[in-house]
Chains A and B, each alone.
Chain A
Amino acid sequence: MSEISSLLTGFQTAFSFYHLALMVGGVLLGILVGVLPGLGAANGVTLLLPLTFSMPPVSAIILLSSMYWGALFGGSTTSILFNIPGEPSSVATTFDGYPMARHGDAAQALATAFLSAGFGALAGIIVVTLIANSVARFALQFSPAEYFAVYFLTFCSYVGMSGGNPLKTIAPLLIGLILAGVGMDTVSGELRLTCGFDSLGSGVSFLAAVIGLYGIGELLVSVEEGLKFEGLQAKMSWRVVWQTIIGMPKYAGALLRSTAIGCWMGITPGGPTAASFMSYGIAKRFSRNAENFGKGEPEGVVAPEAADHSAGVSALLPMLALGVPGSATAAVMMGGLMIWGLQPGPMLFIEQHDFVWGLIASMYMANVVAVILVMATIPMFSAILRAPFSLIAPIIIVICLVGAYTISGKMFDVYLAMGFGVVGYVFKKLDYPIAPLILAMVLGDKTEDAFRQSMLLSDGSLSVFFRNGLVSSIMLVALLLLGWGILAKLIRRLRPS
């Protein structure tokens, strides 16, 4: 099978002492940003990105992706020990993880979370390995119209799957698309929507947006809530880990189902947060211990964790094969790829074979490294949260500002990050989702290019998006998802309470 030989080549690329050191460093940094409120995976990867510009792309992506895996594990830890989700996708883990810890089963809750997460991640990587080449080969048939349809589908799936107010998802999407268009027009070379600011000539940096929206905005919300860390102690022992491993088959059903949901939600851009909530809800509905959910039921930890990690891992597949990131962090990584001069999409599999398979192979290794490291270092990382928040919060803010500056060495990006921070605070409080804004900022240029090329091919007729079975079916699914998002909201409104 070509996948296996490609994977073996990937292991040859990824397996070196330098790369292993990068994995360890990336995972540890990831756990740190996952543990600290206000610094999530997307923000952590953004802050690290400028430091990777001088690295070879394979090493850089190994470092960034390892940080992503570490952050996913770190986010779960604070959910269980502190009842504070380090990542939005870890919120569902608090429902049963924290009650377990309060009952004195913190170590078991952590071990259950890490093992489920590790299983979900490995299953996700296997799915990526098995179907990556096929997806890329399939995508080679795409013309600009199909590409536009896929981008449109991505945006619509956010509206359809968000579960919240669809208008509040559409608004950030449109804002992101508009912001992506600011600066020099790639076709005519004209400056657009710069309001006379020279600094906007090169566009609005999506990295500054991520730092502001996820970093500063989140932190303002945390400060407002008067965050006090009232953590529970946890000392991991290998005996507890072993007992948890033996007990895992009891939850095989929830584990497999949640992993499948996670893979699906990662590949279609539902994202890890939606996947973890959906898995938790379904696990509760089908569990024999449904009445224990919310009171410390291990199955309530297994389901969101497996889904969260399998979605996080699978989200890299559409990013690599189609150039469509499945999560906000994947969107940041895709931005990194473009900065390194790589074009995500099916041609990447042909032109940068070693890069793609090096990354996929590193995902196997980095996730194993992550499970071991997270078990070994959790007491140390949870000790960080015992430092006063009055010290942690300003340090995080300074790191965010430094991160914004290092994007291109311009103070303007610092101002942008600050502005986005205030917007992020308001958006978060009013339930406007942030991920669609980031996704639209990253995909905006590509979407516009695909749209313009398609329209040029059809002399301005929108029928180009329905000219064959493939593009019509993608557009149809997209429109159905868009319609479903709006319809579901109406039905909920009309249903008598």
Chain B
Amino acid sequence: MSVSRRSMELFAASAVTIFAGGIIFGSFQLNVGWSELGPQSGYLPLRLGILLCIVGVLLFLQTALTSAPHTGHGSFATDEQLKRSWSILAPTLLLVLVMPWGGFYFPSGAYLAYMARTHGQFTWSKAITISFCFVVGLYALFDFCFGVPLAKGPIEAFLGIY
């Protein structure tokens, strides 16, 4: 099983059109006309939204009306390819969700160790050592050398690192 390119083209064109619809709606919450200061704040977004909406519809029609060999040929991604992308995207999404309270360092280290273990078949000890070195390097570079502090979580607080 795979996702066909044609259906993905239609999905992308629909997403563009819906986004444009949202912009048009958002623009109407503002003033879209003319004042003594010239075009008002919603003037250009409204027109750009309408243009994008037209482009989205044309893209949709272009795919929908063209025979399959032109646009629908081939697949967007095979099952195997989607699995590969998802295997990296899912842990990354989890990492991003954990970061607001867990900070950057510990979650990044855990993420790296997990990826090295599951995708690289490293032993746990090797994976943890690599991720520890990386996190220490990250801290040295950002917090120490450049003075750009990254978000920290409870584990760093426990260790007295702020």
Contact = CB atoms under 8 A, between A and B. Distances in A.
B30 A190 contact: yes
B12 A174 contact: no
Contact of A430 (B9, B42, B93, B120): B9
Contacts of A185: 41
Contact of B27 (A193, A223, A225): A193
Contact of A451 (B39, B58, B138, B150): B39
A105 interface: no
Nearest to B51: A174
A395 B134 contact: yes
A195 B116 CA distance: 39
Interface string B114-137: 011001111000000010001000
Contact of A426 (B12, B40, B151): B12
B148 A51 contact: yes
SS class of chain B's interface: helix, strand, loop or mixed? helix
B44 interface: yes
B90 to A, nearest CB: 12
Interface in B46-70: 48-49, 51-52, 55-56, 58-59, 62
A187 B37 contact: yes
B96 A418 contact: yes
A193 B22 CA distance: 9
Given A391-B130, A426-B12, A193 B55 contact: no
Contacts of B93: 418
A178 B49 contact: yes
Contacts of A193: 23, 26-27, 45
Given A167-B59, A390-B116, A405 B147 contact: no
B150 A391 contact: no
A414 B96 contact: yes
Contacts of A51: 146, 148
Contacts, number: 159
A220 B38 contact: no
Contacts of B44: 181, 448, 451-452
A192 B142 contact: no
B150 A402 contact: yes
A394 to B, nearest CB: 4
A171 interface: yes
A395 B41 CA distance: 42
Contacts of B18: none
Nearest to A388: B120
A91 to B, nearest CB: 19
Interface in A211-233: 216, 219-220, 223-226
Interface residues of B, number: 66
B115 A394 contact: yes
A165 B13 CA distance: 13
Given A187-B41, A430-B9, A455-B38, A50 B116 contact: no
A397 B99 CA distance: 14
A411 interface: yes
Contacts of A418: 92-93, 96
A401 B99 contact: yes
Nearest to B104: A402
A401 B30 contact: no
A456 interface: yes
A167 B95 contact: no
Nearest to B109: A398
B120 A224 contact: no
Interface residues of A, number: 58
A168 interface: yes
Interface in A150-178: 165, 167-168, 170-171, 174-175, 177-178
Contact of B41 (A192, A414, A456): A192
B142 to A, nearest CB: 7
Task: Name the residue among A50, A165, A187 with the largest chain B CB count within 10 angstroms.
Answer: A187
Nearest to A399: B138
A426 B23 contact: no
A188 B32 CA distance: 12
Contacts of B55: 167, 170-171, 174
Task: Name the residue among B20, B39, B81 with the largest chain A CB count within 10 angstroms.
Answer: B39
A223 B85 contact: yes
Given A226-B84, A390-B119, A178 B23 contact: yes
Nearest to B91: A394
B96 A415 contact: yes
A192 B12 CA distance: 25
Nearest to B96: A418
Interface of A: 50-51, 54, 165, 167-168, 170-171, 174-175, 177-178, 181, 185, 187-188, 190, 192-193, 195, 216, 219-220, 223-226, 388, 390-391, 393-395, 397-398, 401-402, 405-406, 409, 411, 414-415, 418, 422, 425-427, 429-430, 432, 448, 451-453, 455-456, 460
Smallest CB-CB A-B distances: 4 pairs: A390-B120, A390-B119, A456-B38, A394-B115
23 contacts: A167-B58, A181-B44, A187-B38, A188-B37, A188-B41, A190-B30, A192-B30, A220-B89, A224-B82, A226-B81, A390-B115, A394-B88, A401-B96, A405-B104, A411-B100, A411-B151, A418-B93, A418-B96, A426-B12, A430-B9, A430-B76, A432-B12, A456-B38
Given A398-B112, A415-B96, A418-B93, 19 more contacts: A51-B146, A165-B62, A167-B58, A171-B55, A175-B52, A178-B48, A187-B41, A188-B41, A190-B30, A192-B42, A193-B26, A391-B115, A393-B115, A398-B95, A402-B142, A406-B142, A414-B99, A429-B8, A430-B76
